[in-house]
Amino acid sequence: MNFDISLHIDLEIQDNDFVLNDSLSPSTLKKADVIAQDIKHRILESGLLTKLVGLRNKNGIAPILTELELLTEQDNRIKPGTIKVYRNDDGTLSITAQTRQYGGLQSGI
């Protein structure tokens, strides 16, 4: 299967703003980094993160993490069944998955 990598180029966004390079032009992302950024934005826009606020009980957290995994799995650039969403000790989330084209990716929220 031969894919065109030019399909996976995007502007880099952090804290709801464009990241600028040294020449003050918008910085770009490529390949798996584009997919990771898209997944992060999909999760942020889903509203599911607000359900995690204040939860400390693993039985309450686990179903929400599963919902986040299912939401992530809707991206057809990700290999189904490879997505894992973890809640870190500091309350942040880490996401790992395998892309169809670029191998593994990691993202944090």
- Tokens standing for residue 19: 């990241």
Task: Map out the domains of the chain as residue ranges.
Answer: 5-108
Q: For 37-68, how does the pLDDT look when each residue is reduced to its tens digit (9 = 90+)?
A: 999 999 999 999 888 887 788 888 899 999 99
Specify the amino acid at residue 91: G
- 3 state SS of 105: strand
Note the pLDDT of residue 5.
47
In whole angstroms, give the CA distance from residue 99 to residue 38.
13
Tokens 């599911």, located at residue: 48
What is the pTM for the complete model shown?
0.80
Kindly give, in sequence order, each residue whose CB lies less than 8 Å from that of residue 27, ignoring residues fewer than 6 positions away.
11, 12, 18, 19, 20, 21
Q: Does position 101 have pLDDT exceeding 50, yes or no?
A: yes
